[in-house]
Amino acid sequence: MEHQLPDFMLLYNAWRQLSPGQQAELRRVSKPDELLGTPAFYRLFSGAAKEEWGKKALQRLIFCLPCVTHTDKQVSIGAALARYERGVSEKRLFQIIRSEAPNDLIQMRRILKMVEPVINWPMAAKLLWYWNTRSKRDLLEDYFMSQTADKKAS
């Protein structure tokens, strides 16, 4: 049975409608659990998930949301990291893949903060929603496939 995914763009648009101060609150947290002490988190969360896994998934999305910008183009996180002009090293991605929660997500957010990627938010949100061994591998595969495609194109 496939779970109904939330409307990820609704969350993104709600984030954009927060005041600069509320957005800053979310940018300042350094761990996903710190969101639970942040009023702006609850403005976005607003009971959107009932089950515990859904609450954790939304927490992951809101944790990473301040570090990305949406585009309608089909740009995944992996592709955006591969195309970053100063380069995101393979080593840093493998650290994410090999780390356990919450360190994997903390490292992911650090990279997103550094790169400030312009990505397709629904694609990225789906990856973060399911955030597990498979989605981490998908991230890595997107990264390497994008590098390979870029080299062939040049």
- Please give the CATH architecture assigned to the domain spanning 8-153: Orthogonal Bundle (1.10)
Task: Name residue 70's beta-bridge partners.
Answer: 119
| pLDDT tens for the chain, residues 1 to 154 | 456 788 999 999 999 999 999 999 999 999 999 999 999 999 998 767 778 898 899 999 999 999 999 999 999 999 999 998 877 999 999 999 999 999 999 999 999 999 999 999 999 999 999 999 999 999 999 999 998 766 666 5
Task: Please report the pLDDT score of residue 126 as a whole number.
Answer: 97
Per residue, what are the HEC states of 2-18? CCCCCCHHHHHHHHHHC
What ranges do the domains of the chain cover?
A: 8-153
Task: Please report the pLDDT score of residue 147 as a whole number.
Answer: 85
Nearest one of 93, 88, 43, 98 to 65, comparing CA atoms? 43
CB-CB neighbours of 41 under 10 Å: 21
Burial of residue 77 (CB within 10 Å: 0-12, 13-18, 19+) is: buried
Q: Which residues contact 105 (CB under 8 A, 6 or more apart)?
A: 32, 60, 63, 64, 131
